[in-house]
Structure 1
């Protein structure tokens, strides 16, 4: 088998079995093709007919017209693709490899991106044949490909294109590799060979498949809550914080503040000793102070040291050992001497004194005495003496049988005055 026959066989296999190549053949039945001019009946569509003939006589090659200063073959893929390579097969029936491709020297391969741009320009010397098939890299996103030349061959006055077959290999946009694998959702620039080479904002990872820290959702467009613990990032799909929320917050993504008089970790603490149960959702510090009987920053400390009530301003100093209920002030073990009532806020009723007001000051004039000690506030009744008028007195028979010795300072002074008057009279 000759070298030329073997080459033709390999080319035929590549045309009829495109799956042997890594990338998809993007030319399809929908593809449209035009050329700048046409020689005889060698129309542009022959360049994408999948034929295996590479001579003009085979009827499978295109040919631009004679007498032209430029020539082009334009292919419309009908949608934008990610192109990898373009394969060109030229006519091979002019006697030698050099002569076969002489008219192709200096051509350019172009793609359209608002204007025609080059992805390749041939620089093969005029005395060297262009290898056939010719595989040219053109890694671009485009819908249109154009083979263009304005360079005549050394043996011609005019410019020609004689292309027998064109293959455009690549994938859909956002795909890469031999299997046309999809680039990740976070890829901003998907290279046909290398995959994702640039991430979208807020995406990261080798293939831009993950949200950067603190972002989530399908497009990594939503920010994780600042209430995730230890500045941890959240679930990149749903935004859930890992495990738990910071104190003061609740909900799957920790966006809800504790409410209803709750605060702290998992909103498990209550601030029911705060006025109106209103407190800071994180620390529990009361917004408007403590309810009666409580004190401290969190209002969790009972009033102490004999105090009770709102802001612990009231004292229970009439309770035994100053021991009382920290909320309402009711005494724990009763009242001290001289006081009565549930909160020991009342003095003993008139005529009573002492512990539980059980003492009576019945020997005091007008039955009036000190509510604590029981000492009379004035004179004792006749026949009684002592501080509390509880000592019975004896009758005097020497000087004044009809007068009894009086108790207290007032009685003593009266006796002295009477004695002095008697002495004066006797003299």
Structure 2
């Protein structure tokens, strides 16, 4: 009899301990009922959370209130408290960052559809005009200076051959300019001295 009584007392003690633990930890780590969150599960989930279709209820994180199923159309962010741009097509945007995922309404452009297409067109036109102006400017300079440079090089060659020609070759001229044929005199080099000084980028020495 005493042994049975001791066993029963021991079982009652275990049950009391288990009951105490359950009371102290009641609800810890458990999810809140659908549509609520918070330590006491007494706060409603954000109004713009998307409904979990399979159960027709709203679920959100117990601690932060983050919508588990994302947001309804027109809203974004973790708690769906930010509104999509009014210029998003069909009022649809990414529920994370608000980017317009279905395009923009007429006359708008950009990731968030906040830029006007007219502004983009004007900027593109101005950029294109600037590039064409630079192209024509450079082309004009080449058209002017390349023929003059060609004339200068030819005159320089003629002058060198006339002044330095010998029976063997041009002893003091560059091998590129040397020939074994004497060129008739054409007069004083028109561009020999002054033109060289106006072409410093060519790194030529004055004749």
* Same fold? TM cut 0.5: no
TM-score (norm 1): 0.21
Which structure dedicates a bigger proportion of its chain to strand?
Answer: 1
In our comparison, the structure showing a higher alpha carbon Rg is: 1
